[in-house]
Amino acid sequence: MLYGMGDKLRSATKGILIGACIALGVSAPAFADSNIAGKKVIFVPITMGISLTEGWARRMNQHADIYGYSVDIRDAAFNTGAMSELLAKAISEKPDVLVVHNPTVQLLSRQIKQAESEGIKVLQINLQSNQSSAAFVGANWERIGREIAEDIVAECGAGTGKSGKVAIIPGQLTAADSVMMNDAAFKVFEQHPEMEVVSNQASDWEPEKARQITATVLQQHPDLCAIFGHWDVHTIGAGKAVLDAGLDDQVLVYATGGGDDVACKAIEDKVLDRMWSYDADGQGRDAATMIDVLLQGGAAADGSMLIVESPMKIIKAGDAYDPDLCWKM
């Protein structure tokens, strides 16, 4: 009898445990909801109105809708002065998470430090300042610069019969991505004496300036082998200059970017040849997930910066070209 009671007790306990597990399982998202619903996130991008930031904002808003927190976007519209003011205003509003898109390594570092000291978790997206914070989601610029430089060496260096001449077109020489990509690329080129960087002039991110610089450089170096543009948008101007000069079969145009369908169209049009895409759409989802984690109190055990590196998609013209590697808003 005792044995029978024990069985019943065991069955009842099992039932309670399974029921509790099911109940917990069902209520798990509700727990997450109640934990972060109503919290406030402020996103201060360099500008809205470009696929990169619009793609990020779309994913952030999707997560905000699911979990019930708010995402306010403060558009600096490429105005760094306005960006500092917007960030100061955002800090004064004491959001739970602040998402910052740094135009340079230095510009917002003091404000990021101030925000962190006031208990606001700062997520830096894609472009990192020299001030660390709670988290960073974005591309590994050192890796992109190194990989593109290595690819250029393979295409233009010793044994290829090419000139080894490269033109680099950064956005701004002090921009975080340009600084890191140039450092990494020059380290690679220095190991290959046959490589020569004939031009390293910033285009201020403008396609027309990039076109004019490229047209001039091509005139002086008609045997140019490759162009390394730091952003696909302005590099499209450089690619147009190569096309206009009728050198599209000789000069390889490399770019980096968020990898939306415009980039694939540029590759189809032979304006760009190779593209290291950090997949802005995927980045937006990573950033949104990181926001969820930060809002739930997530932090590195040793207090260091949480880092999520964006996976690369390398889109190349030719037989390997795959338009599915690009995303569409």
CA atoms within 13 A on the CB side of 282: 17
CB of 300: closest distance to other proteins in angstroms? Answer: 35
CB of 321: closest distance to other proteins in angstroms? Answer: 16
Residue 54 or 286 with smaller CB distance to other proteins: 54
Residue 145 or 257 with smaller CB distance to other proteins: 257
Beta bridge partners of 73: 43
Here the contacts of 283-286 (C-beta below 8 Å, separation 24 or greater) are 283/55, 283/56, 283/125, 283/126, 283/137, 283/138, 283/139, 283/258, 283/310, 284/55, 284/56, 284/57, 284/58, 284/59, 284/60, 285/59, 286/137, 286/310
Residue 134 or 217 with smaller CB distance to other proteins: 217
Residue 131 or 235 with smaller CB distance to other proteins: 235
In contact, 125 and 309? CB cutoff 8 Å: no
Residue 109 or 200 with smaller CB distance to other proteins: 200
CA dihedral 149, 150, 156, 159 (to 10 degrees): 150
In the structure encoding, which two tokens stand for residue 303, read together?
């207090």
CB of 256: closest distance to other proteins in angstroms? Answer: 16
CB of 205: closest distance to other proteins in angstroms? Answer: 7
CB of 167: closest distance to other proteins in angstroms? Answer: 10
Strand 121-125 with 165-169, pairing:
unpaired
Residue 150 or 206 with smaller CB distance to other proteins: 206
Cα distance between the two ends of the chain: 68
Residue 27 or 220 with smaller CB distance to other proteins: 220
CB of 105: closest distance to other proteins in angstroms? Answer: 16
Q: How many whole angstroms separate alpha carbon 129 and alpha carbon 127? A: 7
In contact, 232 and 254? CB cutoff 8 Å: no
CB of 308: closest distance to other proteins in angstroms? Answer: 26
Residue 76 or 137 with smaller CB distance to other proteins: 76
CA atoms within 13 A on the CB side of 44: 26
In the structure encoding, which two tokens stand for residue 115, read together?
């925000």
Strand 313-316 with 274-277, pairing:
antiparallel
Residue 122 or 202 with smaller CB distance to other proteins: 202
Q: How many whole angstroms separate alpha carbon 69 and alpha carbon 147? A: 39
CB of 241: closest distance to other proteins in angstroms? Answer: 8
Contacting positions for other proteins (CB under 8 A)? 47-50, 54, 77-79, 173, 198-213, 215-217, 219-222, 233, 236-237, 239-240, 243-244, 262, 265-266, 269-271
CB of 243: closest distance to other proteins in angstroms? Answer: 8
In contact, 260 and 329? CB cutoff 8 Å: yes
